[in-house]
């Protein structure tokens, strides 16, 4: 009963957003056929979306069809003791889990930071994630960036833009223990539980994330802004995020005392 009342209240008070609204606004920002996009999202940021998370996924796939690919984070951030590519949910919101559940979705195998994608490049992007490392340049997001792909932030801020972590790794930031955290996954071929690796996070603040990075990118005209209903949209090249982060790492990190949470 409570869930029904909540839906009725949101429907009456919030901005109404349809699939047509999403398609038209994003198309006006340059998202179109053949596009390659990594999407970070918040369903509630739109107001009221007719059809919910499935509508947002449908709109994104319509925009890039027939030759484009949509990828989303389906991370568990270490909450799953054993990651199973088939059953472990996404902890990155309803839109990402809706895409993950699609029959045509391909998902990468990674203990903490798996991605899911739909489109002609989905299998290629998601292959070899364990070997590439969480944020290596041959990870799903690294491959997307090297192919000229875009990052789309739907109702979330720069603090959700994981492309920055690829820049940190590429430039050798010392505050994260890259591939140093022991984890476990369920092997999708055999079903056996096997060891895997993830990253150890930093034990203190970062002087790059997130306002300083966004400010520098905006100063260079690298972020495009838009709006869908109540949802603020930001669009940027994934490689621009990586390159600017690399530059800032080389400037700032040598004097920074922040380190990984564990010593190895």
> Is the residue at 90 inside a domain?
yes
Q: How far apart are CA 63 and CA 153, in angstroms?
A: 16
Q: What is the pTM of this model?
A: 0.92
The answer as to whether 260 is a domain residue is no
pLDDT in tens, 115-150: 999 999 999 999 999 999 999 999 999 999 999 999
Per DSSP, the residues of 161-179 read -THHHHHHHHTT-TTSEEE
Q: Give how many domains the chain has, as a whole number.
A: 1
**What is the structure's pLDDT at 15?**
83
Give the pLDDT of the chain (264 residues) as one tens digit per residue.
565 555 545 555 568 999 999 999 999 999 999 999 999 999 999 999 999 999 999 999 999 999 999 999 999 999 999 999 999 999 999 999 999 999 999 999 999 999 999 999 999 999 999 999 999 999 999 999 999 999 999 999 999 999 999 999 999 999 999 999 999 999 999 999 999 999 999 999 999 999 999 999 999 999 999 999 999 999 999 999 999 999 999 999 999 999 998 643
7 belongs to a structural domain = no
- Does residue 91 fall inside a structural domain? yes
Integer Cα distance of 33 and 66 in angstroms: 7
Residue 264 lies in a domain: no
- For residue 188, give its domain range: 19-24+31-255
| Rounded distance between C-alpha atoms, residue 113 and residue 102, angstroms | 19
Is 262 part of a structural domain of the chain?
Answer: no
Three-state SS string over 191-253 comes to CCEEEEEEEECECCCCCCCCHHHHHHHHHCCCCEEEEECCEEEEEEEHHHHHHHHHHHHHHHH
Does residue 248 lie within any of the structural domains?
Answer: yes
Contact 164, 209 (CB under 8 A): yes
Give the Cα separation of 4 and 30 in Å (integer): 37
Q: Is residue 9 part of a domain?
A: no
């Amino acid at each position: 009963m409570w869930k029904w009342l909540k839906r009725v209240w949101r429907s009456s008070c919030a901005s109404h957003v349809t699939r047509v609204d999403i398609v038209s606004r994003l198309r006006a920002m340059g998202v179109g056929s053949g596009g390659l996009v990594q999407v970070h999202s918040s369903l509630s940021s739109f107001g009221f979306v007719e059809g919910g998370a499935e509508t947002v996924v449908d709109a994104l796939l319509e925009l890039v069809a027939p030759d484009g690919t949509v990828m989303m984070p389906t991370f568990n951030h270490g909450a799953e003791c054993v990651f199973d590519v088939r059953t472990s949910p996404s902890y990155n919101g309803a839109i990402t889990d809706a895409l993950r559940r699609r029959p045509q979705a391909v998902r990468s195998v990674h203990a903490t930071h798996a991605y899911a994608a739909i489109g002609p490049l989905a299998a290629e992007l998601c292959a070899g994630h364990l070997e590439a490392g969480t944020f290596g340049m041959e990870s799903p997001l690294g491959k997307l960036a090297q192919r000229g792909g875009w990052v789309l932030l739907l109702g979330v801020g720069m603090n959700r833009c994981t492309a920055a972590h690829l820049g940190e790794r590429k430039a050798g930031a010392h505050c994260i223990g890259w591939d140093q955290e022991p984890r476990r996954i369920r092997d999708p071929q055999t079903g056996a539980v096997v060891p895997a690796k993830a990253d150890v996070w930093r034990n203190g603040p970062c002087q790059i994330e997130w306002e300083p990075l966004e400010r520098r990118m905006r100063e260079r005209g690298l972020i495009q802004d838009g709006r869908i209903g109540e949802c603020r949209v930001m669009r940027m090249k994934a490689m621009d995020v990586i390159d600017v982060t690399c530059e800032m790492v080389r400037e700032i990190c040598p004097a920074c005392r922040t380190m990984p949470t564990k010593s190895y």
